[in-house]
Structure 1
Amino acid sequence: MSLLQIYIPEHFTGDDSPLMSASPDGQPSEACRWVLRDQAGAVLRRGEGPLVAMPKADSVQAVVPASMVLLAQVKVPSRNRRKMFQLLPYIVEEKLMYDPDSIHVAAGPQLPGGETVVAVIDKAWMKRVIGALQSAGLPPWRMWPETLMPAVPLGTWTVVWNGREGFVRTGMVSGQSLDGGSAEAPPLGLLLAAKEAAEKGSALRKINLILAEGSDQPDLESWASRLDVKVEVTGAWDWSAAAYGMEKGVNLLQGEFTPARFESGMRQRLRIPMILVGIIIALQFGGGLADWLMLNYEKRQLDAYMQKSFRQAFPEAKAVVDAPLQMQRNLAELRHVRGLSDPVDFLPVLAKAAPILSQPESVSIQSMQYENGILRLDVHLQGSQTPGQVRSRFQSDGMKADIEKVETPKSGGTIVRLMLRGDGL
């Protein structure tokens, strides 16, 4: 899955014009920095130009300058996410004195004290940016404020500076933009923030300084002396590397700016597993359907064969509903007409049961009833016998035996009603 990262500049023109970045003199130009990465995160291409000239990718990630975003912490009374987005602009208005209709507020994580981190940005600016991206066929699925992108080790601050301006990240979810500064003097906003931290007793041990491309290193001793804290250069600023793989922070695409489509990255990750699941389901359904059709065909063939055999044996039969049962009953009638007994008659069934009933450690017969080929015996179990053991004895001798009822009389013991059929069917 390819990823296109775009750095959204602070200065741009027109709703329908290409998004433009600011030149060093503050005038807009038709250029935006971008980086194209492959699925593994390796850089394929990088460049600078208008949105319409950028390569297409599976997903688009936008980065917003720190100067466009204000981070704050507010108390949100509602836990309902939908209602929270409606309340946030008015909560921010009370604390920061912003017109709620002119700002877009995105919610971040909730802090241990109950306050929620929010990112405030100009709503009209957001609409122009997203409109320009969508018009160029580059709808974003993540938009991060640059303020929270550099690493910030515990007890340190991280400053990104280009010689004229920059920003500082003071914590996991806190930071601000910085204006001014020189080789000898740090930006005024950084001085004030360091002084406030010292007054609050915050344990600030060091400030890591990251220089933007083309920036000269300031006088670190002069900065450290004015800030009263050690200042150390830790590298060059690479916005695309800092943004890649970023999951924690404040995604600005919330509320009315939430992407309407399913997240491209998630769709790509689920594509192959879902295809495999679909294939497995199709194979199982197809195999099960084939088995059912085959078994159904065989059943119809067997039913047709049994009906044909029955009609050949008893051509006078008018209707055939259950060929095996009708065959069994007709054979029993023929045997009776000839004076022969049928295997399901009383005497044949009793003759099969008698050897078992007469065995040592057998059972005591309480009552006996015969009807429609079924011999019901109420027997009193002796010793440690169980109903299941008694039934197994009859079944092992070729009889079909079922337990109809089990009773435990007050006199003790167990009385079991057995249903015996001599045909074993």
Structure 2
Amino acid sequence: MSSLILTLPLTPPGIATKYSYTLTSDGHTATDHARAAAALLPEPSRPGGEVVAMVPISALSWQRVQLPPGIPLGPNHQTPRLRSILEGLLEDRLLDDPAQLHFALQPGAEAGSPVWVAVCDRSWLRDNLQALEAAGRAVSRVVPEFAPGPTASGTTEICALGSPSEPQMILCGQGPDQSVTMLPLSAAVLALAGLTSTTDDDAPAPVVRADPAVAEVAERTLGRQVTLHTATQRALDAARGDWDLAQFELASTSRIRAMRKAGTAASALLYAPQWRAARWAAALLVGVHLVGLNLWAWQEKQALAAKQVAVRNALTTTFPQVKVVVDAPVQMERELGLLRQKAGSVSPRDLEPLMAAVGASLPDDRVPTALEFAPGELRLRGVTLAPDEESVFNTRLQAAGYSARTEDGTLLVRAEGTP
């Protein structure tokens, strides 16, 4: 999906505050990265893109608590009551006043189960989000740089970052709770964490990544090669996670969340690489349907043309005197009428058959006062029929190939097929 990923600074926002940003069109590859003031930040590269704010690992504290059973959770239930419960559970673990802190529950948290809670300074986070919104870059999601939970490799992962003078390491996927911990990068700390080369050979070696600034220090300290992992790559990884720290008073309304979610899903379907096969399949399916519809239309057109040729041939074969065919059915009916006239016969559209059909269908005591005849139809004046009599009259006429209806006080009888 198209995203603008911003790394929030550790200091409160000001006029000179600059944000590190990463632009991506598919959520996996960076198209641009730099630093800029809030007013100069670029927009997501595609419509429906989102602005994601990333909270650095040093600005977060991770706490694991056991939620009481029966507490309503979820976006629509992040109420002051739930916050009060979290404050009570974390009060003895936090150095700062819980009222000054912001809490966020892990995705899929369930009441009665252990859950991870992200904790950070509330005013710092709120001020940064408000500064970005004032600059026209309203944040859709707030994600942590690193989060507890299973890692992509399924084992403990080490990420070294910081500066050569003060290197730090982030341990992810540790222990049964799969915690995330930030520690100084040193041989002594590695030994205390049980991550030295003298550990059990049967245990899988942790995956090690390092920021380019501390890659050399990490290799020297760990005694092994490391994979380079830049701040841009960390931002892309964080934005693809499930976490959203914008909860409680910082949460968007349900309508805005739904709109953002729909826009994000649409953008992912259109541009994300994991949906490329689905997009090709959809395009192929549409193409096949278009080809099939055109082929079907061509076949129908050919069949209609063949029928039209057959009708014209029938006309010119039956009546050789017709040299120019304009409307074959009409011309054939006209020629049949001329043949009847020459033979002295009548057609169902003539006066005699119409009167005979009407006389056989009308009740015995009903006699019209006036008749009007036109080819194919007969108007009867002065005839009034009861509903049951009209039903019988119409049934008899239909059996003889005629239809009737009342029009302007007259009874109109027509031969079937008369326009």
Taking structure 2 as the reference length, the TM-score comes to 0.52
Whether the aligned pair in 1 keeps the contact of 2:101 and 2:122 (CA below 8 Å) is yes
**Corresponding residue to 2:35 among 39, 48, 64:** 48
For residue 212 of structure 2, give the secondary structure of its aligned residue in structure 1: coil
What secondary structure sits across from 1:161 in the alignment? Answer: strand
State the alpha-carbon separation in 1 of the partners of residues 369 and 113 from structure 2.
84
- One-letter identity of the residue aligned with 1:175: V
How many percent of aligned residue pairs carry the same amino acid? 19
Match of 1:142 in 2: 141
Name the structure, 1 or 2, with higher relative contact order (CA <8 Å, separation 6+). Answer: 2
Q: Deviations over 1:65-99 (max 9, x none)?
A: 10001112101114301253452233222444542
Q: Give the Cα–Cα distance (whole angstroms) in 2 for the partners of residues 223 and 269 of structure 1.
A: 41
- Aligned pairs (5 A) from 1:5-404: 5-14=5-14, 17=15, 20=17, 31-39=18-26, 41-57=28-44, 58-77=49-68, 78-81=70-73, 82=77, 83-96=81-94, 98-108=96-106, 109-110=108-109, 114-148=113-147, 151=151, 153-162=153-162, 163=164, 164-171=166-173, 173-179=178-184, 181=185, 185-186=186-187, 188=189, 192-194=192-194, 205-218=204-217, 220=219, 223=222, 232-240=225-233, 243-244=236-237, 246-260=239-253, 261-262=256-257, 263-264=259-260, 266-267=262-263, 269-270=265-266, 313=380, 315=382, 317=384, 325-328=388-391
Preserved contact between residue 173 and residue 180 of structure 2 (Cα < 8 Å): yes
Structure ranking higher in strand proportion? 1
- Local SS of the residue matching 2:43: coil
Judge conservation of contact 2:63–2:116 (CA < 8 Å) in 1.
yes
Shift of 1:223: 4.7
Structure 1: runs of 5 or more not aligned: 21-30, 225-230, 274-308, 333-341, 344-425
In structure 2, what is the Cα distance between the partners aligned to 1:105 and 1:170? Answer: 21
Deviation at 1:153, TM superposition (A): 2.9
> Using the alignment, how far apart are the partners of 1:67 and 1:207 within structure 2?
22
Number of aligned positions between the proteins:
266
How far off its partner does 1:56 sit?
A: 1.3
Find the residue that maps to 1:148 and give its secondary structure: coil
Evaluate the alpha carbon distance shift between residue 155 and residue 141 of structure 1 in structure 2; reply closer, same or farther with a 3 A threshold: same
Deviations 1:180-236 (A, max 9, x none): x4xxx3485x665449xx99x9x9653444222333512756556xxxxxx652323
The letter of the residue matching 2:56 is P
Distance 1:96 1:235, change over 3 A: same
User: Which secondary structure does the structure 2 equivalent of 1:214 belong to?
Assistant: helix
Hey, what's the Cα distance between the residues in 1 that align with 2:155 and 2:105? 25
**Aligned partners of 1:92, 1:63: CA distance in 2, in Å?**
24
Q: Displacement of 1:121 after TM fit?
A: 0.9
Q: In the alignment, what sits opposite 2:2?
A: 2
> Closer, same or farther in 2 for the Cα pair 1:147/1:219, shift >3 Å?
closer
Counterpart in 2 of 1:367?
A: none
Structure 2 stretches lacking a partner, 5+ long: 270-367, 371-378, 397-419
Aligned to 1:355: none
Contact 1:178 1:187 (8 Å CA) reproduced: no
Please state how far the C-alpha of 1:49 moved relative to its aligned partner.
1.2
Cα distance, 1:240–1:264 mapped onto 2, change above 3 Å: farther
One-letter amino acid matched to 2:161: W
Distance 1:141 1:161 in 2: 27
Q: 1: CA distance between counterparts of 2:161 and 2:27?
A: 30
| Structure having the larger proportion of residues in helix | 2
Structure 1 residues 10 and 328, CA gap change in structure 2 (3 angstroms): closer
Code of the residue aligned with 2:159 in structure 1: it is V
Indicate the SS of the match to 1:218: helix
CA offset digits 1:377-410 (Å, max 9, x no partner)? xxxxxxxxxxxxxxxxxxxxxxxxxxxxxxxxxx
1:156, 1:204 within 8 Å by CA — same for their partners in 2? no
Shift of 1:255: 1.7
Structure 1 pair 223–7 and aligned structure 2 pair: CA distance change class (3 A): same
Asked whether the equivalents of residues 65 and 114 of structure 2 are also in contact (C-alpha less than 8 Å), the reply is yes
The one-letter code of the counterpart of 1:35 is T
CA contact (8 A) 1:211 1:233 kept: yes
Deviations 1:93-139 (A, max 9, x none): 24445422111111115499920111111111111111111111111
Secondary structure, in 3 states, of the residue corresponding to 1:124?
helix
* 1:285-320 alpha-carbon deviations (Å, 9 max, x no partner): xxxxxxxxxxxxxxxxxxxxxxxx999646364xx8
Cα 1:222–1:138 shift into 2, 3 Å: closer
Cα distance, 1:257 vs. partner? Answer: 1.4
